[in-house]
Structure 1
């Protein structure tokens, strides 16, 4: 629960810092977003705060490892926050292959376990 509250506080703080740095003319454009634009905007806020938070604590390296649907968003966030030197970006195709290989391993293990049980 504490981590959840910290995350909520971080997102709220990130949003207000972003809001304070915008000019009135820019904000008007954000009032009239359609559903897709709004979802992308909110995703950007969440991804930005997710990436930015751990990097402020220390100089540790982050690893970006996600599927194609989120890969571009996270990559843009890393570049926007000027963190490419501290981020290891695993190509989305590699992540997809690893996920598939992992699912096959789980299936093989489950299948082997079930076969031993039925003997």
Structure 2
């Protein structure tokens, strides 16, 4: 019996992170990043709601990593994401990376918006 791995997206797991950067698919990306079904892209942070809203209908859950510590999303951003029908889970970036990797390995329809950790 032959088993084939099935990929539903171009999403890649998070391989590592450090102060100001993430390593995804062998590439180091400095600053905030968006990872999901369309691949990995730089993200402008909480002011860039258009990139997150473009995920509506493509993912069931958007994980938002808020940096070293968990923080609240700006109310306007949270409201617009919820109105678009996106499920949102907010957590510190290290926890968001771990959760994303686990659910990605299960083939779930997810995306990840990350703010880098500080020292």
Q: TM-score, normalised by structure 1?
A: 0.28
Q: TM-score, normalised by structure 2?
A: 0.28
Name the structure with the higher strand share: 2
Structure number with the bigger relative contact order (C-alpha 8 A, sep ≥ 6) is: 2
Name the structure with the higher helix share: 1
Which structure's CA Rg is the greater one? 1
